């Protein structure tokens, strides 16, 4: 009887937490947009840059410029990459040129990287246009001074090299 009561209290607490978390997110006014609604802007950008793209079922578009020939990463892989990230207006927001200092577990990264980097192998290069729903969604990424580095609902463009997979 006591175990059943404690399990019921635990279940109620978990349900309350989930409800509170969901209602808290809605109260911030954060509203995401669909990948389909950003497709036109991403295609226009790709065409302006001469990117011959493939469309993934997620809505991401990409061009593999070198497929690579080594290991292919999975979500549990540690990856070493170099990259340059920009908004579709051309503003750069991040880059890394030393693969030794950019070691990540793929599952810990934005969904766009998870999808895109699994399309190539070690030594490969890829250009990715990532809809905001596979990036940071309706949550802006801010600089330390509080200004937006990546505004809410921003599609992202990355040029990436996958140097190593472990």
**79, pLDDT greater than 60:** yes
CA 136 from centroid of its chain's CA atoms? 7
Domain boundaries, the chain: 1-30, 33-165
pLDDT digits (tens, 9 = 90+) for 5-20: 333 333 333 333 333 3
* pLDDT at residue 28, as a whole number: 55
Q: Average pLDDT for residues 109-132, to the nearest whole number?
A: 98
**Model's pTM, two decimal places?**
0.82
Domain 33-165 = CATH 3.10.50.40: yes
CB atoms within 10 A of CB 90: 10
Residue of higher predicted confidence among 20 and 95: 95
pLDDT digits (tens, 9 = 90+) for 36-78: 999 999 999 999 999 999 999 999 999 999 999 989 999 999 9
Quote the tokens at residue 12: 């109620």
* pLDDT at residue 30, as a whole number: 85
Quote the tokens at residue 63: 């061009």
Question: Mean pLDDT, the chain, as a whole number?
Answer: 86
């Amino acid at each position: 009887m006591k175990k059943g009561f404690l399990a019921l209290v635990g279940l109620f607490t978990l349900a309350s937490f989930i409800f509170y978390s969901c209602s808290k997110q809605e109260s911030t006014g954060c509203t995401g947009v669909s990948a389909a609604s950003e497709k036109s802007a991403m295609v226009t950008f790709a065409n302006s840059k001469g990117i011959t793209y493939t469309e993934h079922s997620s809505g991401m578009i990409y061009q593999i410029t070198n497929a690579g020939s080594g290991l292919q990463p999975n979500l549990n892989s540690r990856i070493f990459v170099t990259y340059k990230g920009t908004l579709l207006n051309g503003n750069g927001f991040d880059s890394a040129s030393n693969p030794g200092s950019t070691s990540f577990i793929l599952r810990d990264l934005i969904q766009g990287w998870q999808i895109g980097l699994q399309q190539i192998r070690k030594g490969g290069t890829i250009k990715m246009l990532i809809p905001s729903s596979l990036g940071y969604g309706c949550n802006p990424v801010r600089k330390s001074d509080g200004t937006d580095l990546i505004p809410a609902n921003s599609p992202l463009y990355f040029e990436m090299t996958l140097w190593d997979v472990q």
